Structure 1
């Protein structure tokens, strides 16, 4: 009888713990949905119309328009009450002109803000996008870069706002989340290389993953009849667990079509090597590169904010937030293969 009673108690305890864990997971998912809803197409549109306006002169690395873009981003984080990990009030990771090998006559800067983790603050999830573009054409036309990569820039600001809303309501992430706006992408991935190779504000060995956003505001010709899609690149290169988490988040909340065409090892476009995530991947940090594909306005003055599909941008931004939320809040850090 004693053994039978003991076994019954153990069984009850296991079931009870499992039920509590399931309830906790469900509650956490419900909260994530609420916070994701703070990401709105209206805010994305308002910010992008400013960020990709002629006033920013095409955001060429080191030039006044790019400096203005950095200030725009910094001021958003100040207004949101999200601090910098560098020093109080100092959101700029300064990069000297000499680092750019003549590609930029002036120095430039990455813009960093973060939310400190509540339980594992030394582990960090990095969400990145590049703030620069290609400047003004010889004929005087401004290359506004609304999709490339204004879309990624404003997406990160909205994701950061969602995490800050969670923090203010007592639901801050377990791990730290770094919002990294890098410079010099268009001339050689310089900003992300500086962060990864010269001055990683958070040690690379403590970096859980990098979610990199580069062009997510448009629909390419392949998907004109299925707008609810996104190209993913790199998700399974270093961690199949990351890939599976990404897939599960999508199936749970969005059921978006993930297109892995550009993820193939023999992809002639070699996009895996052509955006800022690569400087993390080369350091054995799992990455996902989110991308809508190219279009006729790529690197042209016609890449303007009126051509962005803001409902699509909203959905994609919420997807990336949910993925970051999962990575930042799961019990165990994702593992490398």
Structure 2
């Protein structure tokens, strides 16, 4: 899950990440060959030598013969070598990849028998590879991320899970850029009836960019809801945005920018309270110094944050207190705001499906999502350990989807509706892979009846507790509670949101499914001391708890997929989702 900063839908309240603590299994990690990246022509630069880190695998004996196969032995070694050394070239832009063919699955178990094969051992064995040092933290993009994708695909082929990506494959590759605003080269001026305010690095905070010189008239609006009716082509939107930096403050700033961009604006000027000059604007400038990850090739909309008194130096109407008068202002925004393009690439999403058995319902999908990327290698090792393995975040959710897929593929009869398994990348860069998926879905959006996102489900910060975030928003929450109450052997508490002020419901990949008004839940066990730290290793997480939560997830999926009716929104919940996401199909 993204840290609570400017990445995930505009969190910019500056909360520090949990402290890095001493890892539970210190490792001597030698210097790394710098990771290559996926260039614009989709060629992959791969380190030719594997990491010099012991890869001794310690699989556990499986409790049932139908559980996931051990990752030990020649098969595992061959998989690692194939993933990290024997890379096949990716298809160049415009080429079509060879469609994958799913192998037939061996069925024959009842639902209860199949789900019972999801065990602590099977969970551990998969997680040991996903969170291994060989994958070097699965950054987006990186060879380790590609290796993880190949592993998921190879396992889905073996299970008989069908490809549901693009061109008959399991892959959906999405375009992205890593962009940094070149503030040092900015030459912006606000020219108005009261004078000229020039950007000098201290009078404003800026982000976004334009590949053309700006010459825009200014139009002010009084409320976000008024933006949609404006004609903003060739204009910059001006919006008075009072208050202090917080997650909600930044979310509204993003909503204003998104609405302005949709109305054709060439830039946005957010006029903030003068009290922001001391700490708020410097914090924003610091946040904006980092690179911004973007899908597609359009540059992010230029945004300027300026205090009320500074804005009044150029625009007479801004003098005084209260809301800015709405309408055309006697002012313009002129100058340049260039960008540095740091990375262009095509990271993978992986999408598979199990087709439903009911001819009338098989074209509807119950969606499971989890991100399989993490944050890669740190430049500040802790006790010689530089690899952020991401076992809980989000190796645990990745494994959960694979284990659910395996169990359902071994059932004697498929569920009535189809199940879509969506493994997304770029979550740690700002939910980018899931955003691309819902905007370019490989199955129709209207066919998706519900989604459950699994992210960080094996932490033990709250013993035997699964936090089911979003329970009150739709009929999905009561359903999961009912299923869990009927299965005391899982020894789980399905808790309501323990951190409503953090708005986690809008901070992981379910956000984009919510934005498309697909009833959704977020399975989560909370942030812990190893969040985004090198100690988030396979030995840190609670494998038994992860397996129990995965069994609950499997039962929930089957209940939704076999129901006569689709899950339903709570009207108040849907209204809040629309308000907070700017959603709608």
TM-score by length of 1: 0.83
Greater mean deviation of Cα atoms: 81-90 or 53-62? 81-90
The residue number in structure 1 matching 2:479 is 245
The residue number in structure 2 matching 1:260 is 496
Superposed CA deviations along residues 32-83 of structure 1, whole A, max 9, x for unmatched, are 3222102121111111111111110110011111111111111111111211
The structure-2 alpha-carbon separation of the partners of 1:156 and 1:271, relative to structure 1 and needing over 3 Å to count, comes to: same
Distance 1:243 1:294 in 2: 21
Which of these residues, 419, 423, 429, is aligned with residue 181 of structure 1? 423
Distance 1:179 1:103 in 2: 31
Which of these residues, 111, 119, 124, is aligned with residue 365 of structure 2? 124
CA apart distance, 1:297:
0.4
CA apart distance, 1:268:
2.4
- What pairs with 1:181-200 in structure 2 (closer than 5 Å)? 181-197=423-439, 199-200=440-441
Distance 2:400 2:176 in 1: 28
- The answer as to 2:523 corresponding to 1:279 is no
Greater mean deviation of Cα atoms: 81-90 or 34-43? 81-90
- The answer as to 2:346 corresponding to 1:107 is yes
The residue number in structure 2 matching 1:308 is 541
CA apart distance, 1:333:
1.8
Secondary structure of the corresponding residue to residue 180 of structure 1 = strand
- What pairs with 1:28-39 in structure 2 (closer than 5 Å)? 31-39=110-118
The residue number in structure 1 matching 2:472 is 236
The structure-2 alpha-carbon separation of the partners of 1:107 and 1:91, relative to structure 1 and needing over 3 Å to count, comes to: same
Are the aligned partners of 1:62 and 1:105 in contact in 2 as well (CA < 8 Å)?
A: no
The residue number in structure 1 matching 2:459 is 218
Distance 2:471 2:434 in 1: 18
The residue number in structure 2 matching 1:292 is 525
Distance 1:67 1:212 in 2: 21
The residue number in structure 2 matching 1:160 is 405
Are the aligned partners of 1:262 and 1:269 in contact in 2 as well (CA < 8 Å)?
A: no
Are the aligned partners of 1:83 and 1:89 in contact in 2 as well (CA < 8 Å)?
A: no
Distance 1:180 1:103 in 2: 28
Are the aligned partners of 2:366 and 2:449 in contact in 1 as well (CA < 8 Å)?
A: yes
Distance 1:174 1:160 in 2: 15
Distance 2:522 2:558 in 1: 17
CA apart distance, 1:88:
7.6
Q: Where do 5+ consecutive residues of structure 1 fail to align?
A: 1-29
Superposed CA deviations along residues 286-320 of structure 1, whole A, max 9, x for unmatched, are 11100111110000011000112111111100000
Are the aligned partners of 1:62 and 1:104 in contact in 2 as well (CA < 8 Å)?
A: no
The residue number in structure 2 matching 1:72 is 151
The residue number in structure 2 matching 1:330 is 563
Distance 1:63 1:203 in 2: 30
- What pairs with 1:1-150 in structure 2 (closer than 5 Å)? 31-86=110-165, 90-98=169-177, 99=295, 105-119=344-358, 120-139=361-380, 141-150=386-395
The residue number in structure 1 matching 2:39 is none
Secondary structure of the corresponding residue to residue 139 of structure 1 = strand
Distance 1:294 1:204 in 2: 31
Are the aligned partners of 1:39 and 1:162 in contact in 2 as well (CA < 8 Å)?
A: yes
Distance 1:113 1:334 in 2: 22
Distance 1:196 1:87 in 2: 14
Distance 1:65 1:87 in 2: 22
Are the aligned partners of 2:174 and 2:436 in contact in 1 as well (CA < 8 Å)?
A: yes
CA apart distance, 1:105:
3.9
Are the aligned partners of 2:137 and 2:377 in contact in 1 as well (CA < 8 Å)?
A: yes
Which of these residues, 550, 554, 562, is aligned with residue 317 of structure 1? 550
Secondary structure of the corresponding residue to residue 138 of structure 1 = strand
Which of these residues, 197, 201, 215, is aligned with residue 442 of structure 2? 201
TM-score by length of 2: 0.49
CA apart distance, 1:103:
7.8
Q: Where do 5+ consecutive residues of structure 2 fail to align?
A: 1-108, 178-294, 300-340, 571-585
Paired positions, count: 294
Give the helix-richer structure, 1 or 2. 1
Distance 1:103 1:122 in 2: 41
The structure-2 alpha-carbon separation of the partners of 1:261 and 1:235, relative to structure 1 and needing over 3 Å to count, comes to: closer
Are the aligned partners of 2:166 and 2:442 in contact in 1 as well (CA < 8 Å)?
A: no
